[in-house]
């Protein structure tokens, strides 16, 4: 059941179109700092409760990145794997038209599970407002050629994860040149994080996906791994390397651990198995606060998801403002670097985990915005 507090949610809109079988909802959590920002999740099991929790995370993520956005999220109940492209298009268009009363004035959409740049193009055209969504195709611009889309496929989130790793590593005197890393998930986030880490001199020794883990203590060739994943569908077909279970990735000896796929990945029994000195949460909610506290007691520095993977929403802001792709990457680097330093300094000064400092800073920023608009 959705719970309400000092931050929100401000509005929950449920919509239904029996003609195309569209059933969806938008949760606008907080708009004190600006219109609510958050993606459209399309799954058979998505619920208002799930979307409300994600909307709250967006409220704090946008505040922590110091963006003039609030937090929101939307969901469409549909099995994207079992419907045709035409049917999916009809559903997205119907959903877009149904929420025009709040989009883009109070809610700006973006890609999420089973939605990407193609779906954002459908959404925007049905809505009629160019800024109704971000994550649009690069070819989708205003009539004068400005304000073009910045698709998430450019790798903004993975790029941000890399810079979060770069900043945090300095606080524990870990030099990236020659350091080792393991990466959970080799989708958009994991692949781009791996690319930038490799370019910085980090040796990738383990990578996992849904089919398992490939481990090579001598290092994994990034370009070869990309080709293997593309041709065979899984990293486990890379050679040379030892094939392990997906969960076995957590036990591989490495300095850096990048999470980039599953929620609730690290559970309490896993804490004692982890050998990494630095964990950067490229995925959403890969561990509970209790697990992060236990890792902190082991002197493992954990960079929380609400800042580590904020590259995506920073990219959304760059698109919203009509910035170029180059300017977007510059903004991601600048925002992640400056804001994470604030969190790190606060956490080290108060001798607590980064999550507590991040939450406190985000909440203070939202409270200030709420007071200003009274």
User: Which of the residues are catalytic?
Assistant: 73
Distances 233 to 209, 210, 230, 236, 237 between C-alpha atoms, Å: 10, 10, 6, 9, 8
Look-up of token digits 């600048």: 334
Q: Which residues contact 230 (CB under 8 A, 6 or more apart)?
A: none
Would you say how long the chain is, in residues? Answer: 374
Enumerate the β-bridge partners of residue 259. 184, 281
Q: Are 134 and 108 in contact (CB under 8 A)?
A: yes
Q: Which residues contact 88 (CB under 8 A, 6 or more apart)?
A: 42, 78, 80, 119
Q: Are 127 and 104 in contact (CB under 8 A)?
A: yes
Q: Give the burial string for 258-288 (b: 16+ CB within 10 Å, else e).
A: bbbbbeebbeeebbeebbbbbbbbbbbbbbe
Count of beta carbons in the 10 Å neighbourhood of residue 360 = 15
* Distance linking the first and last C-alpha atoms of the chain: 28
CA neighbours closer than 13 Å in the CB half-sphere of residue 23: 11
Phi then psi for 310, rounded to 5 degrees?
A: -75, 0
Q: In 3-state terms, what secondary structure has residue 127?
A: helix
Phi then psi for 259, rounded to 5 degrees?
A: -95, 135
Q: Are 2 and 9 in contact (CB under 8 A)?
A: yes
| CA-based torsion, 158, 252, 177, 303: positive or negative | positive
Q: Give the burial string for 212-229 (b: 16+ CB within 10 Å, else e).
A: bbbbbeeebebeebbebb
Distance CA 358, CA 120 (A): 30
Distance CA 253, CA 155 (A): 27
């Amino acid at each position: 059941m959705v719970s309400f507090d000092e931050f929100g949610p401000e509005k929950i809109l449920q919509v239904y179109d029996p003609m195309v079988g569209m059933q969806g909802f938008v949760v606008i959590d907080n708009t004190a700092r600006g219109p609510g920002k958050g993606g459209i999740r399309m799954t058979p099991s998505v619920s208002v409760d799930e979307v409300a929790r994600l909307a709250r995370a967006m409220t704090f993520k946008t505040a922590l990145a110091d963006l003039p956005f609030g937090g929101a999220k939307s969901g469409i109940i549909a099995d994207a794997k079992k419907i045709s492209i035409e049917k999916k298009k009809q559903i997205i268009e119907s959903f877009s038209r149904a929420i025009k009363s709040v989009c883009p004035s109070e809610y700006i959409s973006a890609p999420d599970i089973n939605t990407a740049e193609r779906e954002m193009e459908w959404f925007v055209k049905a809505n009629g407002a160019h800024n109704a969504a971000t994550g649009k195709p690069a070819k989708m611009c205003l009539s004068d050629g400005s304000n073009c889309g910045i698709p998430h496929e450019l790798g903004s989130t993975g790029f941000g994860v890399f810079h979060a790793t770069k900043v945090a590593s300095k606080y524990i005197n870990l030099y990236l040149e020659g350091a080792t890393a393991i990466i959970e998930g080799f989708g958009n986030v994991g692949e781009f994080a791996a690319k930038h880490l490799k370019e910085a001199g980090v040796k990738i020794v383990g990578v996992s996906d849904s089919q398992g883990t490939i481990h090579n203590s001598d290092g994994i060739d990034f370009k070869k791994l990309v080709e293997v994943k593309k041709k065979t569908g899984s990293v486990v077909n890379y050679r040379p390397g030892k094939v392990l279970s997906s969960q076995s990735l957590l036990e591989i000896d490495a300095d850096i651990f990048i999470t980039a796929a599953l929620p609730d990945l690290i559970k309490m029994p896993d804490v004692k198995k982890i050998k990494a000195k630095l964990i950067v949460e490229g995925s959403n909610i890969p561990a509970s606060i209790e697990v992060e506290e236990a890792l902190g007691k082991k002197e493992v520095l954990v960079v929380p998801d609400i800042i580590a993977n904020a590259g995506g929403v920073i990219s959304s802001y760059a698109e919203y403002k009509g910035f170029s792709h180059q300017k977007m990457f510059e903004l991601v680097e600048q925002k992640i670097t400056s804001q994470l330093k604030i969190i790190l300094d606060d956490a080290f000064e108060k001798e607590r985990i980064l999550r507590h400092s991040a939450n406190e800073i985000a909440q203070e920023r939202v409270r200030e915005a709420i007071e200003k608009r009274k």
